[in-house]
Amino acid sequence: MKKIMLVCSGGMSSSLLVTKMEKAAAAAGEKVEIFAVGETKALDLLKGSTDINVVLIGPQIRFVEPEFKKVIADRPIKLQVINMMDYGMMNGEKVFQAAMNLLK
């Protein structure tokens, strides 16, 4: 099972997006675990985890991308900043598709 982590300032604003992404995953027949956390918790998880496949960073904290890249540099974890329009519209289908495209 693939694991997708969304990262935002506090982990709260992405909760609705996670729900919409889960619906898109179910509609596509994909078995994935999708969850959202704040920036600090995300870094802690990445330092200790080996099972996260994709990290999607909220556009409001895109400035943390270089730090995240350093943490995952030696592992096959995919990283991307979420498209601002898709995040603002809470377009779970497009964000889910972006995550799946990273895994190809």
Each domain of the chain, given as residue ranges in start order, spans: 2-102
Q: What is the pTM of this model?
A: 0.94
> In terms of CATH, what superfamily is 2-102?
Response regulator (3.40.50.2300)
**pLDDT value at 82 more than 80:** yes
Neighbours of 26 (CB within 10 A): 11
- pLDDT at site 9: 85
Average pLDDT of every residue of the chain = 94
> Is 74 one of the catalytic residues?
no
Report how far residue 9's alpha carbon sits from residue 102's, in angstroms, rounded to the nearest whole number: 23
Exactly one of 4, 5, 7, 8 is catalytic; which is it?
A: 8
pLDDT, one tens digit per residue, over 42-66 is: 999 999 877 999 999 999 999 999 9
Give first-to-last CA distance, the chain, whole Å: 15
- pLDDT at site 93: 98
